[in-house]
Amino acid sequence: QVQLQESGPELVKPSETLSLTCAVSGYSITSGYYWVWVRQPPGKGLEWIGTINHSGTTYYNPSLKSRVSISVDTSKNQFFLNLNSVAAADTALYYCARDAGPMAVVGFFAYWGQGTLVTVSS
């Protein structure tokens, strides 16, 4: 059973870079599927941030594209989120997830991590 676990700083200062790691267990990233970041501001809805595969092919939400970077380390079975120039509006619960498509991006998400709350504040 695939499991995902987010980790990273809980507090980030405005204008700095938010960096998160998603550790995948129970499945090798190199075996297929695409890997996803989604966020949810407190009390609000869900927003897709971006998607990556094991070879580093990425797709980003245009609303965040200028500030976001997603990367992968297959040796550690992990993928990463960097979001720069953060502001209070980036305060959210950040989830990593797995896209439902084994060979190509499908665009919905069957497996999710538990989420990690990141607060942007000085």
Interacting residue ranges for another protein, rule: CB under 8 A: 44-48, 59, 61-63, 95, 97, 100, 106-110, 112-115
Residue 74 or 114: the one with the smaller Cβ distance to another protein is 114
Neighbours of 102 (CB within 10 A): 11
Parallel/antiparallel/unpaired status of strands 18-25 and 78-83:
antiparallel
Residue 16 or 67: the one with the smaller Cβ distance to another protein is 67
Tell me if 109 sits within 8 A of 85, measured CB to CB.
no
Residue 80 or 109: the one with the smaller Cβ distance to another protein is 109
Residues counted in the chain: 122
Q: Nearest distance from residue 13's CB to another protein, in Å?
A: 26
Provide the β-strand partners of residue 78: 23, 73
Q: Nearest distance from residue 112's CB to another protein, in Å?
A: 4
Tell me if 20 sits within 8 A of 80, measured CB to CB.
yes
Q: 3-state class of 8 per DSSP? A: coil
Q: Nearest distance from residue 10's CB to another protein, in Å?
A: 15
Residue 26 or 107: the one with the smaller Cβ distance to another protein is 107
Q: Nearest distance from residue 46's CB to another protein, in Å?
A: 4
